[in-house]
A = this chain, B = another copy of it.
Amino acid sequence: MKKFINSEDTFLKESLQGFAAAHQDIVTCFYDPNFITRSKATKVGKVAVISGGGSGHEPMHGGFVGYGMLDAACPGFVFSSPSPDQMIAASEKVDNGAGVLFIVKNYSGDIMNFQMSSEMMTGASETVLTNDDVAVEDSSFTTGRRGVAATVIVEKIVGSLAESGGSLKECKILGDKVNKNSGSMGVAFSSCTVPAARKPTFELGADEMEFGVGIHGEPGRRRDKVKSALDITNELLEAIIEDLKPENNDEILLFVNGMGGTPLTELYIIYDNAKKILDNKKVKIVRSLVGNYCTSLEMQGASITLTKLDQEITNHWDSAVHTAAMRWGM
Contact = CB atoms under 8 A, between A and B. Distances in A.
Interface of A: 2-6, 11-12, 14-19, 21-23, 55-56, 58-59, 63, 189-190, 206-207, 209, 226, 228-230, 232, 254, 256, 260-273, 275, 285, 288-290, 292, 295, 297-298, 300, 302, 327-330
A12 B300 CA distance: 19
A2 B328 CA distance: 34
Copies of this protein chain in the complex = 2
A261 B298 contact: yes
A4 B63 contact: no
Contacts of A327: 327-328
Contacts of A270: 4, 18
A11 B300 contact: no
13 contacts: A2-B190, A3-B189, A4-B229, A4-B232, A6-B269, A11-B269, A18-B290, A22-B290, A56-B263, A58-B268, A59-B264, A265-B297, A329-B330
Contacts of A12: 265
A289 B21 CA distance: 11
A285 B15 CA distance: 17
Contact of A5 (B5, B17, B229, B254): B229
- A58, A190, A254, A269: which has the most chain B beta carbons within 10 Å? A269
A62 to B, nearest CB: 9
Contact of A298 (B63, B206, B262): B262
A275 B19 CA distance: 11
Given A14-B272, A15-B272, A17-B272, A263 B266 contact: no
Given A23-B288, A298-B261, A300-B261, A275 B18 contact: yes
A15 B288 contact: no
A19 B260 contact: no
A118 B286 CA distance: 40
Contacts of A2: 189-190, 206-207, 209, 226, 300
- A228, A260, A265: which has the most chain B beta carbons within 10 Å? A265
A262 B192 CA distance: 11
A327 B226 CA distance: 35
Nearest to A322: B328
B22 A269 contact: no
Contacts of A11: 265, 269
A91 B190 CA distance: 41
B189 A21 contact: no
B268 A19 contact: yes
Nearest to A63: B264
Given A2-B226, A232-B4, A260 B263 contact: yes
Given A14-B272, A18-B256, A261-B300, 7 more contacts: A3-B229, A4-B262, A6-B228, A19-B268, A19-B271, A63-B264, A329-B330
A21 B269 contact: no
Contact of A22 (B22, B228, B263, B271): B271
